[in-house]
Amino acid sequence: MPRIAVGTENDSPIEIHYEDHGSGQPIVMIHGYPLDGNSWERQERVLLPAGYRVITYDRRGFGRSDQPAVGYDYDTFAGDLNTLLEHLGLEDIVLAGFSMGTGEVTRYLGTYGSGRVRKAAMFGVIPPFLLKTDDNPEGVDAEVFDGIKAAIVADRYAYFKDFLDNFYNVDKLGGTRISDQAWQASFNLAATASPHATYACVGTWLTDFRADLPKIDIPTLVVHGTEDRILPFPNTAARLSGLISDVKVIPVEGGPHNIGWTHPEEVNDALLTFLAE
């Protein structure tokens, strides 16, 4: 099981798990909260036969990676990503992120630049800035995130039930685009994630990426569900056209947050077309 050290906690190494399959141009895929790298299975299934090398990894605190109590901020997350890219010696990369993973893509490019990266693809995006402030009236009230933290502290398992129902829009798509078993698999991942990480990551959702976005100087694809209840389209994806110089925004009509699972045909067609351009 491949792992690399990305830091330390109390003199003990912090290691993250990764998977590296196929050959060809490398696509590094960064998962969303509270999942792991295997959540890209419906994309990996088409990327490998199309001739791409697919690298996925589990963010610290999630999946098969270590569960430290430190490092839950986007500077550290981007540093973990950079360590992986350097470890594998990757060049000519496509960086792909979903949800929280779009923060890694954005902060990595804003901090480390695009020397290694040819293109970026983001699904269910968290940038530009979720928190409502005087200079960001399109954001979401801070009380919403305070409520999420309180719900996690009170009973994180009950919170995950509500979160995942809205993650997949189960009331509309249950039994058709999301099965009970697939929902349960996501719940199991959430339940086995670090209790500290599942709480600490909520604060990272309020990261201001507005200074990073203009630094993205490579072709960028954004695909986002129009009925996303976790990161609503008007507050996120709809705002990126004026912030990234070369971006194509594709709305998925009726799509929930995790469109990669519920709408794989639309997502995969958009991704493969973008990669071939």
Q: What is the pLDDT of residues 65-75, one digit of tens each?
A: 999 999 999 99
The catalytic residues are 99, 228, 257
Confidence of residue 175 (pLDDT cuts 50, 70, 90): very high
In the structure encoding, which two tokens stand for residue 233, read together?
A: 């389209």
State how far the Cα of 210 lies from the Cα of 58, in Å rounded to an integer: 26
As a whole number, mean pLDDT of residues 213-226 equals: 98
Residue found by looking up tokens 């709809």 in the block? 238
pLDDT at position 161 over 80: yes
CB 31 within 8 Å of CB 55: no
Confidence of residue 20 (pLDDT cuts 50, 70, 90): very high
Q: List all residues 6 or more positions away from 6 whose beta carbon is below 8 Å from its beta carbon.
A: 14, 15, 16, 60, 79, 80, 83, 84
Residue found by looking up tokens 């670090």 in the block? 194
| Three-state secondary structure readout of 239-254 | HHHHCCCCEEEEEECC
Name the percent of the chain lying above pLDDT 70. 100
pLDDT at position 148 over 90: yes
State how far the Cα of 215 lies from the Cα of 91, in Å rounded to an integer: 19
Confidence of residue 5 (pLDDT cuts 50, 70, 90): very high
As a whole number, mean pLDDT of residues 150-178 equals: 98
pLDDT at position 1 over 80: no
State how far the Cα of 89 lies from the Cα of 104, in Å rounded to an integer: 18
Mean per-residue pLDDT over the chain, rounded: 97
The CATH homologous superfamily for domain 3-276 is Alpha/Beta hydrolase fold, catalytic domain (3.40.50.1820)
pLDDT of residue 275: 98
Integer CA distances (angstroms), 114 to 87, 108, 111, 162, 219, in order? 17, 9, 9, 38, 11
